[in-house]
Chain A
Amino acid sequence: MSRRVLVVACTAIYTFLMLPLLVVFPISFSSAAYMQFPPPGLSWQWYERYLDDPQWIDATVRSLYVGVATAILAVVLGVPLAFSLVRGRFPGRWLLDRIALAPLIVPTIILSISVYGLFAKLKLIGEWYGLVIAHTVLALPFVVLVMAAGLRDFDRALEQAAEGLGASRLRTLLKITLPLLRPSLVSAGLLAFISSFDELVVALFLAGPNMTLPKKMFDNIMMEIDPTIAAVSVMQILLVSVVLVLIDRFGRGLRGSAR
């Protein structure tokens, strides 16, 4: 009996979780000229508005390349960092560990205004690469967590075998270690991308007039609730779904690490 109560309760909670995601779909197809629920009819108008507006497209494209650049930089920096943390034996490793995960602990607002203050001095506000740097700082902990988990499960005997068979350390890394870590690499890259693509708080401070997609959405929401935002939201949900499917298929399952 109590099992059934549990299932019913959970269904209600799940409804609560999914409701917002579901509600944006009908809104985005509304044929009304303003926010109205239920929508009187179906139309593509808000999607067309989005595609026709250079500002929206601009913001989307910027978010895309900032996201890709962040993913690349975070992986290039984070993978060696993870190797150091998992395999290294040097004094102060525990400190490095704390520092690597610190961006997760420090509230993003604090990081945002700090970097804003510094970048204002360095005239980096509004520059896309400034944003990439800040986003990379935020993405590094994700990359480290995923790669460290993958490294810990890695069978070192394979590397020993490769060396015994004549491979130098570099060749072992390139031919054996990294290819076998590919699922973790894929997950890390995709998580870094999504965390940058969705990121708002830092972008609020650093993006300036050159907006990322979240910043444009935020400005729109503050000024008017136009169902175009619903259309953008739907596309974002679809993008996240695609990324999650990619992670599941090609990456390391997220279920292993319950964080």
Chain B
Amino acid sequence: MPAKEAKHSANLSVEGLQKRFGDVVALDGVSLDIASGELLTILGPSGSGKTTLLKIVAGFEKPDAGVVRIDGTDITALPPARRDIGMVFQNYALFPHLTVRANVAFPLEMRNIGKAEIDRRVGEALQLVELAGYDQRLPRQLSGGQQQRVALARAIVFNPRLLLLDEPFGALDRKLRETMQLEVRRLQRRLGLTTIFITHDQEEALVLSDRVAVMNRGCIQQVATTTEIYERPANDFVADFVGESNIFHGTVTEPGVVSLEGGRRLLVNSSVRTVGQRLGVLIRPERFGRGTNVFAGEVKEAVYLGVSFKLRIACDDGLELIVRQPARGALPAPGTRMNVAVDPGEIHVF
């Protein structure tokens, strides 16, 4: 029998998950801990293994090796029907032949809950996602955003210990997506429900999450808060995948100085001391401003983005920079010569 009415949200831990499909390695030793009540986003490109990870947690795939634990209990071999996990699928997977009410009531019926209780809980759930009054509609009569909310209601109505969302907003337009992101956040906070969110959209990850786990090629590249991920990425991949970046590589020649391939001397944070160490260097495009590192070059491309200018500058010493500036004045034309500067404190090394 599935656990009844788990009133508190669980913590989840996966250890050493391995999974291959034929020749393809989907997961290569993935371990992760998610605290109770946390919203963790798993961010990665397609093929990174994030969907496989979700399916293993939900129980639709069995790992070749490794363990999944909820509140310390090993559930790796438990069938999905007994895991008490709420899931929102990419294309919502609403039952087309059932009304909104019947869809949301489904998990409660599966748990043999009495009719009166079902009616009450379904009403509450629909209230929570602001779809009260839509209960007699069929899924095909609803818009994408409404279907999304029904899927959400159905996933939480039975008080699951864990909520999984598999790229749920892909099919929605931008404005709707932003609204739904905030709604999910609000709902999650209100219910205190441990949630795992899968996406390839790094902006979405930054908006929603407490922490982000960046995945690539079956491995977790970094798990950290959104700030950490953005400001202090751990490696090339994370730096490049999250946000725009200028990434270079070089060697420490003296404390506080990195010599880039190509000869450029870059003044960085003085805590960088180990001479001879090879490093990656990250400069976010919006961090250019005043500073002791000055680059002289020519504008190759200029794009007007309403809020800002995005410039591609070819520097005289061969470096190429992507620079974002607040949109003031006229957009610099290609060919214009420009100087940009960045403070050593704004440069991140990894």
Contacts and interface: CB of A to CB of B under 8 A. Distances in A.
Q: Is chain B in direct contact with chain A in the complex (CB below 8 A)? A: yes
B96 A166 contact: no
Contacts of A161: 87, 89, 93, 95
B256 interface: no
A171 interface: yes
A179 B97 contact: yes
A171 B110 CA distance: 9
A223 interface: no
| Chain B at the A interface: SS class | loop
B329 interface: no
Interface in B35-53: none
B79 A165 contact: no
A167 interface: yes
Interface in B59-88: 59-60, 79-87
Contact of B106 (A155, A157, A160, A165): A165
A181 B331 CA distance: 59
Contacts of B158: 165-166
A162 B155 CA distance: 11
Contact of A180 (B59, B79, B97): B97
B107 interface: yes
A164 B91 contact: no
B81 A167 contact: yes
B114 interface: no
Given A155-B93, A167-B81, A180-B96, A160 B110 contact: no
A158 interface: yes
B101 to A, nearest CB: 15
Interface string A151-192: 000010110111111111001000010011000000000000
B124 to A, nearest CB: 17
Name the residue among B83, B84, B96, B110 with the largest chain A CB count within 10 angstroms.
B110
A165 B85 CA distance: 8
B111 interface: yes
A165 B110 contact: yes
B79 A157 contact: no
Contact of B81 (A157, A168, A176): A168
B93 A157 contact: yes
A166 B58 contact: no
B318 interface: no
B111 A160 contact: no
A176 B110 contact: no
Name the residue among B82, B90, B93, B158 with the largest chain A CB count within 10 angstroms.
B93
B111 A166 contact: yes
A160 B93 contact: yes
A165 B107 contact: yes
Contacts of B96: 158, 180
Contacts of A164: 58-60, 80-81, 83, 85-87
Interface in A9-25: none
A128 to B, nearest CB: 36
B95 A166 contact: no
A155 B90 CA distance: 12
A168 B81 CA distance: 6
B312 interface: no
Contacts of A167: 81, 106, 110
Interface in A129-169: 155, 157-158, 160-168
A165 B154 contact: yes
A166 B2 CA distance: 8
A163 B91 contact: no
A171 B107 CA distance: 12
Nearest to A171: B110
A166 B110 contact: yes
Contacts of B58: 164
A166 B93 contact: no
A25 B343 CA distance: 95
A179 B102 CA distance: 14
Nearest to B84: A166
A166 B60 contact: no
Nearest to A161: B93
Nearest to B151: A161
Contacts of B154: 165
B2 A158 contact: no
A148 B40 CA distance: 41
A161 B96 CA distance: 12
A180 B140 CA distance: 14
Given A165-B110, A166-B107, 7 more contacts: A155-B93, A160-B60, A161-B89, A161-B95, A166-B111, A176-B95, A180-B95
Interface of B: 2, 58-60, 79-87, 89-91, 93, 95-97, 106-107, 110-111, 154, 158
Interface of A: 155, 157-158, 160-168, 171, 176, 179-180
13 contacts: A157-B91, A157-B93, A160-B93, A161-B89, A161-B93, A162-B95, A164-B80, A164-B81, A165-B110, A166-B110, A167-B81, A176-B95, A180-B96
